[in-house]
Amino acid sequence: MKGQNTFTTSQIDEIKKLIADKVRATADKQKGIRAKIRKLGFHYSDFSSKKDGYTVADFEALICSGQIKVIGSNYKPTEQLTTKPTTTIKPATTTVLPSLKTTDLTSLLQTFKQNRFDPTNDSETIIPDQSGNYILCLKPNSNLSTVSVIPILTSFDELKVVYTGIAGGSLRSRDYRQHFKGNNAGRSTLRKSLGVLFGYKQIPRDKDPSNGKTKFGQADEEKLTKWMCDNLIMFFLPTTDFDSIEIKLINHFNPPLNLKNNYNSINADFRKLLSTLRSKK
């Protein structure tokens, strides 16, 4: 064993915080956070041969199983994490839906509910590396940044819907890595929309500013990444019918951050404001 398997309550809390930071961090910062975790004596490789990363839920599972002991306390892992495992989603190859022609919206939404991803606690490996659709919702008690026009939000699985999108290639690469970890709003319309609502200043994305493509400054991009991980939940659906399903989802939920193909009169003023904010350089 490289590390130790017995910790104090304060060490447990510090390790959990660092693990949560690691899950949210970009790849270039994760190495430094892992070093801090190991300095506290925790080496995940002592308990698992898994090479695809670990989450707070994985750490607390070690406590529940008795593999990690807590000194002098009646420590209890977070109820949400112990009652709702984060790795029970079936492999993506078993959740691909049949043609849209044989699947109604109710069935689609039930499948979405089975595929829930929380970027704070879950490993990105539960997101399939294939095409599909996704729905982004606000976590309980979270809100979009307040602007002069307040959008009306609909709900899915008791959470407020803000955006729905498609991944023509990979849900994992498009949804998680570009939106949540990409730190580049120039490659994510979702990040661009959220950033302008926060009032972040747009700067040229590329060395040649004449192409008009923009992103935010590094500090703002990092703040945006943290906000997204702390405040958003993603539901995903592996499928090849993503274009047709996207229209159904937009018509059903009227997500305020969806500008393209959204013709609902409700939130029209908000979408107009968002479009104006996005066009400002």
pLDDT in tens, the chain (281 residues): 788 988 888 888 899 889 888 877 777 788 899 999 999 999 888 888 766 678 777 787 788 777 888 886 566 655 433 333 333 333 333 344 444 444 588 889 999 999 999 988 888 888 888 899 999 999 999 999 989 999 999 999 999 999 999 988 888 876 667 777 766 665 788 989 999 999 999 888 877 777 777 888 889 988 998 999 999 999 999 988 899 999 999 999 999 999 999 999 999 999 999 999 988 76
Cα 87 to Cα 118: distance, rounded to the nearest angstrom = 11
- Tell me, yes or no, whether 45 and 116 share the same domain: no
Domain around 17 = 6-83
Residues 200 and 118 in one domain: yes
Q: Is residue 16 part of a domain?
A: yes
Boundary of a domain, candidates 38, 65, 83: 83
Q: Of 216, 183, 194, 185, which is closest to residue 147 (Cα–Cα)?
A: 194
Q: Is residue 22 assigned to a domain?
A: yes
**73 and 134, same domain (yes or no):** no
Q: pTM for the full model?
A: 0.66
The residues pairing with 237 across neighbouring beta strands, listed in sequence order, are 133
Determine the Cα–Cα distance for residues 86 and 80; give it in Å rounded to an integer.
10
Q: How many CB atoms lie within 10 A of CB 266?
A: 13
Are residues 274 and 150 both part of a single domain? Answer: yes
